[in-house]
């Protein structure tokens, strides 16, 4: 999943982005509303964490433009020091899906992000299944049948994207875009290495599902193993 973070304070911005990256999200973080809006023109985000006190524009203006200009209309969570009830009502009425007053606990922010992702009309987070493999996005855990599959954070993210596609090919460039934020350095073979490890772990667990490579195009899960 890919998260857009718009936060004025540098330390808070880095802390939020780092926290979600450690939990398997690709997180892009910006200080300016205009930079964040420009990113939405080329990148589809699953959710937005939005500070209201931005240096170039008010966060509510960013939210209005997100709702007007973004095709997939990702859920937005406001995080702000504005704690008056009028501000909260205005934010929710202005299109926010949740409103969190600073200071807040990062675990609560994560829980609220996952909660809005489960709402009707937004991508749900029920466990995904393909063949004998299941993946729970909330706990970031996978199983082959009733046997736990030990995956690294990157391998779990790869499996999540592939299992969501239900056997359809996921284009390599799109998969890299989903897994890595703008600020994350990606080596040329990082994705291939993660795919190779995931394939080996599925085979070692006795799964009937493998990772199929379509050369020059992308990857998919395939029952019966890779071709």
pLDDT digits (tens, 9 = 90+) for 52-77: 999 999 999 999 998 888 766 889 99
Distance between alpha carbon 35 and the CA centroid of its chain, in Å?
Answer: 19
Quick one: 194 exposed, middle or buried, by C-beta within 10 A (0-12, 13-18, 19+)? Answer: buried
Phi and psi dihedrals of 226, rounded to 5? -70, 150
CA-to-CA separations, 72 to 76, 112, 138, in angstroms, rounded:
12, 19, 22
Instruction: State the alpha helices, DSSP H only, in 70-179.
Output: 85-93, 106-117, 153-164, 172-179
Query: Coil, strand, or helix at residue 84?
Result: coil
Rounded-to-integer distance, Cα 90 and Cα 105, Å: 23
Kindly report the backbone phi and psi dihedral angles of residue 6, in degrees, each rounded to the nearest multiple of 5, phi listed first: -120, 105
User: Mapping DSSP to helix (H, G, I), strand (E, B) and coil, where does residue 51 land?
Assistant: strand
Tens-place pLDDT, residues 190-214: 888 989 999 999 999 999 999 998 8
Provide the pLDDT confidence category of residue 43 given band limits of 50, 70 and 90.
Answer: confident
Q: What would the mean pLDDT of 162-183 be, rounded to a whole number? A: 81
Q: What angle do CA 48, 54, 57 make, to 5 degrees?
A: 100
The pTM (predicted TM-score) of the whole model is: 0.63
List CB contacts of 227: < 8 A, sequence separation 6 or more: 212
* Residue 3 near residue 20, CB atoms below 8 Å: yes
CB atoms near residue 99 (< 10 Å) = 22
Position 29 scores a pLDDT of 94
pLDDT, tens digit, 9 for 90 and up, residues 95-152 = 899 999 999 999 999 999 998 888 765 444 467 889 999 998 777 889 999 899 999 9
């Amino acid at each position: 999943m890919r998260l857009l973070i718009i936060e004025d304070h540098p330390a808070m911005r880095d802390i939020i982005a780092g926290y979600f990256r450690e939990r398997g999200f690709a997180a892009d973080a910006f200080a300016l509303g205009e930079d964040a809006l420009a990113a939405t023109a080329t990148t589809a985000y699953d959710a937005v964490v939005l500070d209201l006190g931005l240096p170039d524009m008010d966060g509510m203006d960013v939210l209005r433009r997100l709702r007007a200009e973004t095709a997939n209309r990702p859920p937005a969570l406001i995080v702000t020091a504005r704690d008056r009830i009028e501000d909260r009502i205005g934010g929710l009425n202005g299109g926010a899906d949740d409103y969190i007053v600073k200071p807040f606990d990062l675990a609560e922010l994560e829980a609220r992000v996952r909660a809005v992702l489960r709402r009707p009309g937004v991508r749900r987070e029920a466990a995904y299944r393909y063949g004998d493999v299941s993946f729970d996005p909330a706990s970031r855990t996978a199983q082959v049948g009733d046997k736990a599959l030990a995956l690294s954070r990157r391998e779990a993210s790869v499996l999540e994207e592939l299992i969501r596609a239900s056997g359809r090919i996921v284009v390599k460039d799109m998969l890299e875009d989903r897994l890595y934020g703008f600020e994350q350095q990606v080596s040329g073979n990082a994705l291939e290495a993660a795919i190779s490890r995931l394939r080996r772990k599925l085979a070692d667990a006795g799964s009937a599902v493998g990772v199929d490579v379509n050369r020059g195009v992308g990857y998919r899960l395939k029952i019966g193993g890779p071709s």
